[in-house]
Amino acid sequence: MQTGKFRRAALMKAVLLLMFIVAAVVMVRFTGVREFLTVEKLGALLAAAGLWAPLAFILIYAVGVCLFIPGTLLTALGAAIYGPYWGFLYVWVAAMLGAAGAFLIGRYLGREFAASLIGDRLKKYDDAIEQNGFATVLYLRLVYFPFTAMNFGMGLTKVRYRDYLWGTGLGILAGTFIFTFFVGTVKEVWATGQWANLLTWKVFFSLGLFVFSLFIPKIINKLKFWHGIKVS
C-alpha cells in the first residue's frame, strides 16, 4: 500500500514537472516575453529600476533560466548592458541562481519518478554520479553541455546539491567571463562609434579568448581530465 502511494505521488510530481516545462515553453514562445529581451527594452526597464537594476537583472536572468530562455541570450544581454566586467559578475551570480533553482525544481518534482524507472543497468551510473558528482558536473560544464537541460537533468540524478553547485560555479566561470568579455567589449566599441578601437588589443584579446573557448572540450579530453578517461 505504501509503495503504491509512493508511486502515485512520484507520478503526480512528474506530471507537474512536465506541465511546468510545457507552460514555460509556451509562455516564452507564444507571449510577449521575448519581445522584452532586447538591449533597448530590457535596458530601459532596468534603467527605471535605478539602484535596484543589478538585482532586477539577476532575478530576471535566474527566472529566465528556469523558464527555458536560452542562457546565451541572457548572457549576451547582460554583457551588452553592463559591459565586460560588471556584466560578468552579474551574469555569473544570476546563472548560479537560475541553475540552482532549476535543479531544485527537477529534484523535487522529478527525482522520485526518475528513480522508479532506473533499473539495475542504469543504477550503477546513478550511483557513480553520486560518488563523483563534482567531477561529473564540472566536466559537463566545461564542455558546454546545454545549460538549461543540464540544470533540470541533474536534478533527476543522485548528485549531491553541494557537488552540483560547486561544479557549476567553477565550470561556468571561464566560459562566462570569455563570452561576456567578448560581447561587452564589442558593444562598447559599437556604442562609441569609434571603429578604430576594433583594432585595439582588448578586442583582439576578447576575440582570441572566444575562439579559445571553442577548443576547451578537446583540450580537456586530451588532458584526460575526468578520472584519466577520455570522454568522446
Lowest-pLDDT range of 4-8, 104-108, 136-140, 152-156 = 4-8
Give the DSSP letter string of 63-87. Answer: HHHHTT--HHHHHHHHHHHHHHHHH
Query: What is the mean predicted confidence (pLDDT) over 204-230?
Result: 64
How far is it, in rounded angstroms, from Cα 109 to Cα 86?
Answer: 35
Question: What does the domain layout of the chain look like in residue ranges?
Answer: 2-172
- Write phi, then psi, for 200 (nearest 5 degrees): -80, 165
Query: What is the mean predicted confidence (pLDDT) over 40-69?
Result: 93
Query: What is the mean predicted confidence (pLDDT) over 92-114?
Result: 92
pLDDT tens digits, 127-179: 888 888 898 898 889 888 889 889 999 998 889 999 999 999 998 988 898 88
